[in-house]
Amino acid sequence: MYLEHFPMEGRQQGWIEVICGSMFSGKTEELIRRLKRVEFANQKVLLFKPKIDNRYAESAVVSHKGSSLDAIVIEKASEALKIWKNERVVAFDEAQFFDEEIVQISTELARKGVRVIFAGLDMDYLGKPFGPMPQLLCIAEYVTKVHAICVSCGNLAYISHRTVSESGQVLVGAVEKYQPLCRGCYNKIAH
């Protein structure tokens, strides 16, 4: 009788977490750390990465420091729901590269009791909000902003400064194309 009146009592609540910041700030490292803790607790995990990100490995999420976890490569956010089989934790690396539908999908997963974790750039190389990240930041219960160190002066980095002349918003790369800069050092270069 008790369960008839309170059908959700005692069941897992879902939520959304976002880890954001510039390149080289440890976003992926933090995502991997959280997922390893979940695996240690014997919870089932699904980890996704966008098809466009093939810098270090085809089917693994790899941090700049070399930590890695196996991942499922998807092109569109909607593919995640087709693959999901009631895993308690679903994570997405490089969330800025996914389509806007990821916002609706993460909300749906959280409604179903899933802990949804994102890691991604909050801004592009020009300091503009990147992809679906602004919406994900707004709907998340937990937001962690991590910072790289400015390679020019040592302050906390603000932006992923592009060091090559390509101008499209999306340019996958690492140290050969980007460097973290604080606001002051970036303003000296950009203006």
- Asked whether residue 166 is assigned to any structural domain, the reply reads no
- Asked whether residue 171 is assigned to any structural domain, the reply reads no
pLDDT tens for each residue of 135-149: 999 999 999 999 999
- Asked whether residue 144 is assigned to any structural domain, the reply reads yes
- Asked whether residue 56 is assigned to any structural domain, the reply reads yes
Q: Is 94 a catalytic residue?
A: yes
- Asked whether residue 80 is assigned to any structural domain, the reply reads yes
Mean residue pLDDT across the chain: 87
pLDDT tens for each residue of 27-45: 999 999 999 999 999 999 9
> Residue 77 sits in a domain of what CATH number?
3.40.50.300
Q: Lowest mean pLDDT of 20-29, 62-71, 121-130, 180-189, name the range.
A: 62-71
- Asked whether residue 170 is assigned to any structural domain, the reply reads no
* Percent of the chain topping pLDDT 90: 70
**pLDDT at 41 (0 to 100):** 92
d(CA 119, CA 30): 8
Q: What domain count does the chain have?
A: 1
| Residue 90 structural domain | 12-148
- Asked whether residue 70 is assigned to any structural domain, the reply reads yes
pLDDT surpassing 80 at residue 129: yes
pLDDT surpassing 80 at residue 72: yes
- Asked whether residue 167 is assigned to any structural domain, the reply reads no
Of 30, 94, 100, 101, which one is the catalytic site residue? 94
**pLDDT at 67 (0 to 100):** 72
pLDDT band at 58 (very low <50, low <70, confident <90, very high): low
| Cβ neighbours for 144, distance < 8 A, ≥ 6 positions apart | 17, 18, 19, 20, 30
d(CA 65, CA 52): 20
- Give the residue with greater pLDDT, 162 vs 3: 162
d(CA 80, CA 157): 32
Other CB atoms within 10 A of residue 118 CB:
28
Half-sphere exposure of 18 (CA within 13 A, CB side): 23
